[in-house]
Structure 1
Amino acid sequence: MILKRLNISIHPPLPPVIKEVIWHPPLENWVKCNTDGAANNLTSSCGGIFRNHNADFLCGFAENTGLKSAFMAELCGAMRAIELAHNRNWTNLWLESDSSLVVQAFSAASLVPWELSNKWLNCTRMTRNMNFVVSHVYREGNQCADKLANIGLGLDSFTFWTELPPQISSSFVDNRLGKPSFRFVYM
C-alpha cells in the first residue's frame, strides 16, 4: 500500500518452475556412471556409481583427492570413472555429472587446471576407444554419487565397492524405481 501511494510500481518475482528430476538407466549393453565431487575446508573427494541398463549396481568408488578445489574433485571423479571403465573393458560408457563445468571440459580442455592436464589427456584418449557420452544432470538426480563423494571426505585411500554400500541404498532404490525428485528453478 505504501509503495502504491508513492507511485512506485511493484514487480513481484516470477514463481519458480518446478522440474521433475528422474535418474535414467542407460541403453542395453551400456554402462552409466554418475560421478560427483565434494569439498570442505580441509580436503576434497570424489565418488561414483556404475549401473547397467537394468539399473543394477555394478560397482562404486570414493576417494579423498586431497585437493582444495571442488571443481578439481569433480574432474578427478570423472577421470577415475573413465579409468575404471577402461580397466573393466566397458566400451559403452555414459558419464553423468551434476557439474556443468565437467561436462564442458570434455569439449574445452582449457577448463582443466594444469595440475590435472596430463591425467585428463590420458583419460580423454581412453574415451576415443569407447562409445562415450557425457551429460549433465541436476544434483537431485545424482544423489548416489553425491553420497559416495561425501563418504570420500573421511577416507584415507581409494575405496572400491562391488556390493552396494548401505549408505546409498535408499537413494539407489529410489533411482531404480524411477522415483522423481523435484527442483525449483527461478527464471
Structure 2
Amino acid sequence: MKVPPKIRHFIWRAAKDVLPTKQNLQARHIPVGVECDGCGDHTESIIHCLWLCDQARSVWMSLLEFRSLLQKKCRTFCDLLEEVFSVGPAKKVALFATVAWCIWQRRNRLRENQSTWKLHEIGDNAQRLVDEFWSVNSQESGEPIPRHRVRWSPPPEDCYKVNFDAAFCEDSGLAGIGVVCRDNSGQVIAALRQNLGQVQSVEMAEALAARRAVVFAREMSLFCIIVEGDCLAVIQALRRSGLCPLLFGHIVNETKRLGSVRRSCVFQHVRREGNRLAHSLAKKAVLSADFEVWVEDLPEDVDVGFQSDFP
C-alpha cells in the first residue's frame, strides 16, 4: 500500500480491530458509553465509525470511486479491506486508506474539541494528500539514481537561516523540537531545544517546530530569514497561498502570519542531511524535560552534528 507509514500503521490497527473505539474501550473495562458520537444511534465499532455511520457514508458517497462499494455487505473492516484490495488499483487503495485515516483523525479531534475538517472537505483533502505523496515517491524502482551529498548551505549576506526539526516517539507520543539560527558564514547566532510533551502526530510536531522557528527569529531580532526544514508536507503547506485545510492548518496559518511581519521570510525545504544540527537538537529534546536556549554557542552533545552540517 503506497501511503505514508502512519496511515499504513493505522490501517493495520483497524484491520486487527485494536483502534480505541468506544466498543473496544468498553471491552477493556473502561467506563465509557458505546454510542457513536456521529449518529448517536449505533455502537461505535471500527466498521461503523469508518464505514457504516451516516457521517462516514456521506464522505464515501462524495467519492465516485467508492459508491459501488457501499452496496457491499461487509461485517468487519477486514472484510471491507479485502473488497478494496480485490477491485482497486494501487492508487484507489491508497485513497481508501487515506480517507479512512482522515475520518478517524476527524473523530479524534472532535472528541478533543479541536478544529478539524468539515465532512465535505475530507474527500478533496485526502485526494490531495495522496497526490502529494505519490508525486514525491513517484520514482520507479530499478537502478538507484545517485544522489549528491546534501549539506547545510549558507543564506545570502544580510540574511539568516533558521533551521528547524522535530523528533517524535510513536510509542509515547512525546515530541521534541530543535531550532538553530546561523548567519551567512555558518556561525551559530542562537539555538534552542524544547520538549513539547505529547503531540498528536509527527506532522503536528513539525508544524509546531516551524512556528517556534519564526518566533525564535523574532526574539533574536532577525528581520530577514530563510526558515528551512526537512518535512516536505509542512513546508509545502507554508508555501501554499490561502488558509491551510490540514489538521495542523491552524498552526501553519499562524506561522505564515508571523512570517509576514518580518522584513523577509522564506520557507524552504531541505533533505535531512542538510538539517542535521536541528535534527540533533530535536532528538535530544525528546529525552529532556527542559527548555534550553544558547546564544552564540551550542551544547557539547551536538557538536558532532554541527561539524558534519557545516558546508
Tell me the distance in 2 between the aligned counterparts of 1:89 and 1:18: 37
Tell me the distance in 2 between the aligned counterparts of 1:91 and 1:104: 22
User: What do the CA deviations read for 1:27-82 (whole angstroms, capped 9, x no partner)?
Assistant: 11111111111111211111111101111111111111121311111111110010
Which of 114, 119, 122 pairs up with 2:254? 122
Tell me the distance in 1 between the aligned counterparts of 2:153 and 2:286: 27
SS at match of 1:14: coil
SS at match of 1:24: coil
Tell me the distance in 1 between the aligned counterparts of 2:144 and 2:282: 33
Q: Is the 8 A contact 1:31 1:52 kept in 2?
A: yes
Structure 2, gaps ≥5 residues long:
1-140
Q: How many residues were matched structurally? A: 164
Which residues in structure 2 correspond to 1:3-42 (within 5 Å)? 13-40=142-169, 41-42=171-172
1:86 aligns with 2:215: no
User: What do the CA deviations read for 1:148-186 (whole angstroms, capped 9, x no partner)?
Assistant: 01011012232212221112212212333x2xxxxxxxx
Which protein is richer in strand relative to its size?
1
Tell me the distance in 2 between the aligned counterparts of 1:15 and 1:78: 32
SS at match of 2:142: coil
Tell me the distance in 2 between the aligned counterparts of 1:32 and 1:160: 17
**What TM-score do the two structures reach when normalised by structure 2?**
0.49
Matching residue of 1:142: 275
User: What do the CA deviations read for 1:88-147 (whole angstroms, capped 9, x no partner)?
Assistant: 221101011010011111116425425x71x54333222112201111111011111111
Matching residue of 2:134: none
Q: Is the 8 A contact 1:44 1:68 kept in 2?
A: no
Tell me the distance in 1 between the aligned counterparts of 2:216 and 2:201: 23
1:172 aligns with 2:306: yes
Matching residue of 1:181: none
**What TM-score do the two structures reach when normalised by structure 1?**
0.80
Matching residue of 2:284: 151
Which of 196, 207, 231 pairs up with 1:75? 207
1:96 aligns with 2:228: yes
Q: Is the 8 A contact 1:33 1:94 kept in 2?
A: yes
SS at match of 1:23: coil
Deviates more, 1:97-106 or 1:153-162: 153-162
Q: Which amino acid aligns with 1:55?
A: G
Tell me the distance in 1 between the aligned counterparts of 2:220 and 2:287: 27
Tell me the distance in 1 between the aligned counterparts of 2:303 and 2:257: 34
Shift of 1:13: 2.3
Q: Is the 8 A contact 2:195 2:286 kept in 1?
A: yes
Deviates more, 1:64-73 or 1:15-24: 15-24
Structure 1, gaps ≥5 residues long:
1-11, 179-187
Which protein is richer in helix relative to its size?
2
